């Protein structure tokens, strides 16, 4: 028996091409040829949930707008949300240093692909430690296209092994341990959760529901899913949202120098504004 004949739903190359085109248009995500199996298994769940028996019919109904809310579920199913606390740990001392440099000011930080929350909580913990308080002067806006991960992030509940790399002091100071049927789970303390506001945001959208100038923008491990023109466009929209000495943190395999001439390297995968862009932003700050 061939592998295809044991599949629960028929899924052919044309279906894959359709999915690929739809998710690219909607989320900017470029799926490689090797992702066929992944697409099948993730969307097979949507077929089961909607009771549709073939990929072709599912995609027809999706495109025809016959299933309310299904675009969101389709998108949620196809995002990759891998993340962890203090991922790419070398970024956080730099964040702490930047926060301390701005002591006495209200810091604003945008975490633009926050996934299940480990990244914004790591940012919040870093700022708390920098100012030695659970109520530091910081507002963190955490956004993602995937509404499921945002709900997980806002809940702030994780299996205990997710925080095992944190120091014992960090675990105690920033998390509550579950008891009874919640044993084995931890929850970010309310003070930490209060520092972060979550909202859905598609980096591909023409309008972003985001205002102001940020001290720091985190955009890590999401640009890798986008092609160069998309990356260029997004970076050109980050620049006016940065304070003159603002920092932009990228993922380990993301090099923005080839994509934007308004940015220069400040550290390993950390960027700041180039001189010209910086003076434009200084002018904007004065006018504001
Ligand atoms: C691999 S995770 C990275 C999470 C975190 N930034 C980190 O580095 O650990 C990528 C995240 O980008 C989000 N994403 C994908 N396309 C997006 C888009 N067009 N707009 C906003 N977020 C998007 C996904 O939902 C996912 O949560």
Per-residue pLDDT of the chain (288 residues; tens, 9 = 90+): 345 457 899 999 999 999 999 999 999 999 999 999 999 999 999 999 999 999 999 999 999 999 999 999 999 999 999 999 999 999 999 999 999 999 999 999 999 999 999 999 999 999 999 999 999 999 999 999 999 999 999 999 999 999 999 999 999 999 999 999 999 999 999 999 999 999 999 999 999 999 989 999 999 999 999 999 999 999 999 999 999 999 999 999 999 998 989 999 999 999 999 999 999 999 988 887
Q: pLDDT at position 5, please?
A: 56
Sketch out the chain's domains with CATH numbers. 13-78 (1.10.155.10), 91-287 (3.40.50.150)
pLDDT confidence of residue 287? 81
Question: In a mutational test of the pocket of ligand 1, which residue from 144, 152, 199, 209 has the highest number of ligand atoms less than 8 Å from its CB?
Answer: 144
Q: What is the pLDDT of residue 271?
A: 97
DSSP 30: P
Find out whether the beta carbon of 83 lies less than 6 Å from any atom of ligand 1: yes
CA 44/CA 23 separation, integer angstroms: 16
Strands (E), the chain: 107-111, 138-144, 157-159, 175-177, 185-188, 196-200, 214-219, 242-250, 263-267, 270-273
Give 147 Cα–ligand 1 centroid separation in angstroms: 11
Is the shortest distance between the CB of 145 and ligand 1 below 6 Å?
yes
pLDDT number for residue 179: 96
For residue 76, give the ligand 1 atom closest to its CA: 25
Catalytic (active site) residue 199: no
Catalytic, out of 18, 26, 42, 187: 42
Task: Note the pLDDT of residue 72.
Answer: 98
Per-residue pLDDT, 286: 83
Q: What is the DSSP letter of 245?
A: E
Closest residue CA from atom 27 of ligand 1 = 115
Question: Is 144 one of the annotated active-site residues of the chain?
Answer: yes
Q: Report CA(219)–ligand 1 centroid distance (Å).
A: 8
List CB contacts of 288: < 8 A, sequence separation 6 or more. Answer: 213
From the CB of residue 182, how many other CB atoms can be counted at a distance below 10 Å?
Answer: 12
Residue 288: per-residue pLDDT: 76
Q: What is the pLDDT of residue 272?
A: 97
Record the pTM: 0.96
């Amino acid at each position: 028996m061939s592998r295809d004949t044991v599949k629960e739903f028929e899924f052919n190359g044309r279906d894959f091409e359709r999915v690929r085109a739809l998710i690219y248009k909607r989320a900017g995500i470029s799926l490689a040829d090797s992702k066929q199996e992944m697409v099948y298994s993730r969307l097979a769940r949507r077929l089961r949930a909607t009771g549709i028996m073939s990929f072709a019919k599912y995609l027809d109904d999706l495109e025809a707008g016959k299933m309310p809310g299904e675009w969101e579920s389709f998108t949620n199913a196809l995002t990759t949300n891998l993340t962890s606390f203090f991922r790419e740990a070398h970024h956080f001392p730099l964040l702490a240093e930047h926060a301390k440099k701005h002591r006495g000011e209200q810091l604003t930080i945008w975490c633009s692909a926050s996934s299940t929350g480990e990244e914004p909580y790591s940012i919040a913990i870093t700022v708390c430690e920098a100012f030695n308080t659970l109520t530091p002067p910081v507002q963190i806006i955490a956004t993602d296209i995937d509404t499921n991960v945002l709900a997980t992030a806002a809940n702030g509940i994780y299996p205990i092994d997710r925080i095992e790399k944190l120091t014992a002091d960090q675990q105690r100071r920033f998390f509550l341990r579950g008891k009874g049927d919640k044993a084995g789970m931890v929850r970010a303390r309310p003070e930490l959760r209060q520092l972060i506001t979550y909202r859905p945001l598609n980096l591909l959208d023409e309008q972003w529901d985001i205002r102001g100038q940020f001290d720091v923008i985190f955009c890590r491990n999401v640009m890798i899913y986008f092609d160069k023109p998309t990356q260029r466009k997004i970076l050109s929209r980050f620049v006016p949202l940065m304070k003159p000495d603002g920092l932009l943190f990228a993922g380990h395999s993301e090099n923005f120098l080839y994509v934007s001439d308004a940015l220069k390297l400040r550290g390993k995968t950390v960027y700041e504004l180039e001189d010209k862009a910086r003076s434009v932003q200084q002018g904007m700050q004065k006018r504001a």
